[in-house]
């Protein structure tokens, strides 16, 4: 018998060799039905795996990211099987799960088109209905090479040849279909429910232009049709909310051919941007930050000293000044370090918090540029905190509190990820361990759950990333906290300690918006252009019904302007219904309709963007209401 401890702490005994699926069925048939994979003794496994030792078991359903990956990777195998049935000469490349879906790359004599999607989906449904067991088999290197050679799967042969000599090589079979795969997978194809083939793209084998161009078929899958329908509906909604279209229609921003990757902000976009920056400055002043500004161009020697030249030069722009080499800054931190060095600091001054709205430039390939989401020039809301070693935990928690204040204000839920030492990194393993443990301690003291991304830290230190979730259930990595022991060493930063000697401070790099431009793009799509009142470029539009009410309309505009409200009037000789529709299309929060009665009584007829007609209100009453709503930053 073997002993299995469950996630709730309970313990059960089973005969050796029982499968994880059988264990799940014994615990609860419903649990077994919903389970897609398991974690046994820390390793994610197929439910069909047999248990031969004592251990801890966690069963994963679709709510868990790891289970979703298993579900969609199994879906990719089903799609590949369908394509092989329909076009047998197609050769298999790779088919991973990705965020919200999966893809498979094929080398096929058939050119796929959207007209093929229905046939692929129907064949996938037949495979799902057949409910083939998905069976894992381990092979020797020779067996694997022989099998895929006999089936003319050249890309699989290349993958096998590149595996380490001691690698475990496995295949998964469902019906007649066999694929090279490490797994894990669902127990059978019948576990899949709702599938949808989405789109096509070209992709070089292994991402190299020297290799063949393959055909990539994208798709998605969910365990319920209602979940698929909801996802597809949100995709349609995302198209309507595309920030590039809304930016132009609402007069916020444009990206022009004359400056690819370099956005232009229009007057209304500048209002939105300035409100975000004003709020940032106000909150940072309250949190004890001082604002600085550093140059856009700095010498090559500085970038070599900071390590950016070695780790980042492919993404930098360069220039020559007076026969010397200079670079346009891709990051703000070296400038912040130079500001710190301008004075001799005492331990009594620390922590020293310095914030900067710093314009940076990074070279991006033209193919990845995307509105405000991926640009070549953007403003980071950077801050650098210089502190004593014993202040690290409190300062990290302070940044977490500030991030929470910002994201909560905009209605963004978020989750946290911890990234550890990358392959190319500065500094010793010991320093990295100290820094990583400090981040972990801060997260645990604040009671925050987090996911670990091994090897994904910055080259100078581990980091905590904040991933916010928008109204369409998409996630965006915006805020970050990076703990750095390296830069203070490289730039010889010191402070005078209590003992009168010189000591090395520790440094935090952090952003909250991340990039102002990208954050505006996210906000535009999150709110569909209907920004909260305090952010709206135009907060009120006054709509006189006739020429007789235009003088009163001007009076209303003046009073609202004097109260600090952003207001404009539509004096065009159009019908009032047309003016109202125009105001609604411009997503203006409040429309004030003014006729003869309103002029006589000193009232305004109020139409709210969401709530519709609110009826007549005294102008003074409306003004007080809206001023309070702006001040309270109501969503």
Provide the pLDDT for residue 322.
Answer: 95
Residue of 73, 191, 463, 518 marked active site: 463
The helix/strand/coil state of 602 is: coil
345-371: burial string, b at 16+ Cβ within 10 Å, e else: beeeebbbbbbbbbbbbbeeeeeeeeb
Provide the pLDDT for residue 32.
Answer: 92
Closest Cα partner for 490 from 475, 504, 501?
504
Residue carrying structure tokens 């251990």: 55
Provide the pLDDT for residue 427.
Answer: 85
Provide the pLDDT for residue 403.
Answer: 97
Are the CB atoms for 174 and 135 separated by under 8 Å?
yes
Provide the pLDDT for residue 9.
Answer: 87
The torsion defined by the Cα of 475, 477, 481 and 487, in degrees rounded to 10, comes to 160
Provide the pLDDT for residue 606.
Answer: 98
Provide the pLDDT for residue 311.
Answer: 82
Mark whether 68 is an active-site residue: no
The torsion defined by the Cα of 520, 524, 526 and 528, in degrees rounded to 10, comes to 170
Provide the pLDDT for residue 7.
Answer: 86
Mark whether 362 is an active-site residue: yes
Provide the pLDDT for residue 307.
Answer: 86
Are the CB atoms for 506 and 488 separated by under 8 Å?
yes
Residue of 308, 362, 510, 541 marked active site: 362
Question: Other C-beta atoms within 10 Å of 478: how many?
Answer: 23
Mark whether 333 is an active-site residue: yes
Provide the pLDDT for residue 460.
Answer: 85
Residue of 46, 179, 382, 484 marked active site: 382
Residue of 81, 174, 215, 380 marked active site: 380
The residues of the chain scoring below 50 in pLDDT are none
Provide the pLDDT for residue 310.
Answer: 85
Q: Encoding tokens for residue 296?
A: 């856009």
Q: Which residues fall within 8 angstroms of residue 137, CB to CB, at 6 or more apart? A: 170, 171, 172, 173
pLDDT, tens digit (0-9, with 9 covering 90-100), for 541-566: 999 999 999 999 999 999 999 999 99
Provide the pLDDT for residue 627.
Answer: 97
Helices (H) and strands (E) in the chain, counts: 20, 33
Residue of 333, 541, 566, 587 marked active site: 333
Are the CB atoms for 337 and 487 separated by under 8 Å?
yes
């Amino acid at each position: 018998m073997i002993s299995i401890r469950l996630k709730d702490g309970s313990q059960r005994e089973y005969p050796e060799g029982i499968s994880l699926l059988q264990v799940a069925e014994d615990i609860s048939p419903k649990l077994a039905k919903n389970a897609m994979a398991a974690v046994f003794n820390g390793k994610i496994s197929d439910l069909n795996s047999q248990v031969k030792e004592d251990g801890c078991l966690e069963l994963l359903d679709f709510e868990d990211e790891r289970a979703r990956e298993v579900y969609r990777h199994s879906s990719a195998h089903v799609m590949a099987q369908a394509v092989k049935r329909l076009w047998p000469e197609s050769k298999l490349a790779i088919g991973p799960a990705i965020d919200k879906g999966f893809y498979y790359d094929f080398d096929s004599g058939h050119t796929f088109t959207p007209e093929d999607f229905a046939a692929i989906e129907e064949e996938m449904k037949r495979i799902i209905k057949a409910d083939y067991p998905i069976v894992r088999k381990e092979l020797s290197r020779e067996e694997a090479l022989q099998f895929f050679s006999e089936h003319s799967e050249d890309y699989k042969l290349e993958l096998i040849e590149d595996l380490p000599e001691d690698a475990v090589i496995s295949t998964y079979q469902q019906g007649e279909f066999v694929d090279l795969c490490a797994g894990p997978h669902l127990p059978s194809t019948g576990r899949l429910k709702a599938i949808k083939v989405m789109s096509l793209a070209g992709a070089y084998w292994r991402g190299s232009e020297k290799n063949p161009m393959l055909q990539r078929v994208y798709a998605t899958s969910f365990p319920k049709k209602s979940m698929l329908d909801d996802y597809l509906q949100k995709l349609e909604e995302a198209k309507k909310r595309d920030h590039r279209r809304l930016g132009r229609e609402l007069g916020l921003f444009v990206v022009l051919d004359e400056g690819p990757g370099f956005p232009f902000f229009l007057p209304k976009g500048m209002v939105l941007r300035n409100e975000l920056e004003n709020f940032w400055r106000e909150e940072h002043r309250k949190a004890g930050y001082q604002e600085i500004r550093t140059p856009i161009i700095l010498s090559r020697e500085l970038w070599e000293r900071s390590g950016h030249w070695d780790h980042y030069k492919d993404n930098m722009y360069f220039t020559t000044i007076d026969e010397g080499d200079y670079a346009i800054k891709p990051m703000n931190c070296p400038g912040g370090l130079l500001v710190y060095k301008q004075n001799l600091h005492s331990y009594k001054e620390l922590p020293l918090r310095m914030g900067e709205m710093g314009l940076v430039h990074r070279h991006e390939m033209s193919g990845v540029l995307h509105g405000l989401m991926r640009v070549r020039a953007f403003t980071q809301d950077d801050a650098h905190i210089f502190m004593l070693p014993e202040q690290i935990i409190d300062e990290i928690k302070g940044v977490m509190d500030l991030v929470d204040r910002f994201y909560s204000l905009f209605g963004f839920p978020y989750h946290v990820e911890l990234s550890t030492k990358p392959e190319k990194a500065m500094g010793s393993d010991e320093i990295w361990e100290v820094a990583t443990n400090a981040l972990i301690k801060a997260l645990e003291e604040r009671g925050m759950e987090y996911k670990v991304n091994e090897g994904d830290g910055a080259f100078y230190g581990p980091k905590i990333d904040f991933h916010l979730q928008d109204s369409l259930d998409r996630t965006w990595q915006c805020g970050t906290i990076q703990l750095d022991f390296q830069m203070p060493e490289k730039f010889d930063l010191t402070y005078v300690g209590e003992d009168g000697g010189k000591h090395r401070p520790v440094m935090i790099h952090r952003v909250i918006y991340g990039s102002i431009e990208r954050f505006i793009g996210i906000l535009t799509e999150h709110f569909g252009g209907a920004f909260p009142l305090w952010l709206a470029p135009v907060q009120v539009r006054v709509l006189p019904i006739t020429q007789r009410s235009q003088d009163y309309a001007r009076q209303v505009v003046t009073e609202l302007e004097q109260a600090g409200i952003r207001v404009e009037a539509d004096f065009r000789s159009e019908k009032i219904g047309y003016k109202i529709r125009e105001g609604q299309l411009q997503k203006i929060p409040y429309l004030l309709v003014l006729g003869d009665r309103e002029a006589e009584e000193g009232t305004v007829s109020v139409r709210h963007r969401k709530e519709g007609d609110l009826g007549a209100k005294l102008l003074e009453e409306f003004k007080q209401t809206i001023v309070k709503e702006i001040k309270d930053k109501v969503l």
